[in-house]
Amino acid sequence: MLDPAIAAVRLAVREALQPFAESGATILVALSGGADSLALAAAAAHEARGLGLGIAAVTVDHGLQPGSAEVAERAAAQARGLGIPDARVARVEVGTDGGPEAAARTARYAAISRAASETGAAAVLLGHTLDDQAETVLLALARGAGAGSLQGMAPRRIDERGLAWERPLLGLRRAETRAFCAAAGIEAWEDPHNSDERFGRVRVRETVLPVLERELGPGIADALARTAEQLREDNEAFADMIDETIEDIVEHAEAGIAISVAALAANPAAIRNRIIRHVAASEFDASLTRRHTLEIARLVTDWRGQGPIDLPGFAATRRGALIVLTAR
């Protein structure tokens, strides 16, 4: 009889791969050597055969820990043993922008993207679980982030090249991937960083979530994941609405872009603020804080002759019936 954990992981992976069935496409697994990604790789290798798909794997060596090269090579060797002959190691240089976690993530995703290009992959499989999703939502709450961040990680995303980034395990718990490895006789690597409380995610995992479970009752991680899913649905609906609205109320201005004051004023605050953030991100690659967003909105709702507002990468000012955003 098939172990329940193995059955659950295989089913999740099969559902993620179904859109590519019989296409002959290559699927790339992002493999760290931990239980989550090894369970993902083993299930993907099994399911790809039945769906007429090619399979490859990439392990990123960040070079941040002693012996990281050996760990990466071991993970690649395990992937080959699982039936993934093209299992490669990508070594990266991790910068400092945004702190160690963000810099490592940036380097990792760039390396995975390169490996996808090299292998001609149609999709990348990432081993994030429901527990990872819950941690992401809690960290976003702690930052005071908006609904866009609270929606957590998307189960599926298509990038500008048409590459699909899939997270088949978002509905499964970390305990299930560990049980998969135990049942399959796979020895997973335990990343020392996963118990290093210098990192906020580790403190959430080891301290915050257990306290919430103890004080508020079980099911907190599931509830956070459900919240993320509901917010994602809301955000997708809002995004479609914003795209339609912007076409009618935005026009090009010298060295920038202009937004109709009347149109902004006619919309409720939630829509108005989303329009402002969307324009700032798309035109100036700027991620506005709530304080910045509200300052721009005051040019509409509380106009008293204020001068230009200096913001990251651009300035905002009111000129008659327009809010004009110009690059600095």
Listed residues 165, 187, 216: the one ending a domain: 216
Instruction: Convert the pLDDT of each residue in 146-196 to its tens digit.
Output: 777 788 999 999 999 999 999 999 999 999 999 999 999 999 998 887 877
Q: Can you give the residue range of the structural domain that contains 310? A: 254-327
Distance between first and last Cα of the chain: 65
Cα–Cα–Cα angle for 258, 262, 263, rounded to 5 degrees:
75
Backbone angles phi, psi at 103, to 5 degrees: -65, -40
Listed residues 157, 188, 216: the one ending a domain: 216
Same-domain check for residues 164 and 266? no
The answer to whether residue 246 sits within a structural domain is no
Higher pLDDT, 149 or 47: 47
Listed residues 216, 233, 265: the one ending a domain: 216
Cα 65 to Cα 63: distance, rounded to the nearest angstrom: 6
**How many separate domains does the chain show?**
2
CB atoms < 10 A from the CB of 105, how many? 14
The answer to whether residue 27 sits within a structural domain is yes
Same-domain check for residues 154 and 272? no
Does residue 145 surpass a pLDDT of 70? no
What CATH code is carried by the domain that includes residue 297? 3.30.465.60
Same-domain check for residues 200 and 114? yes
What CATH code is carried by the domain that includes residue 41? 3.40.50.620
Percent of the chain with pLDDT over 70: 99
Backbone angles phi, psi at 155, to 5 degrees: -60, -30
**CA nearest neighbour of 223 among 236, 206, 209:** 209
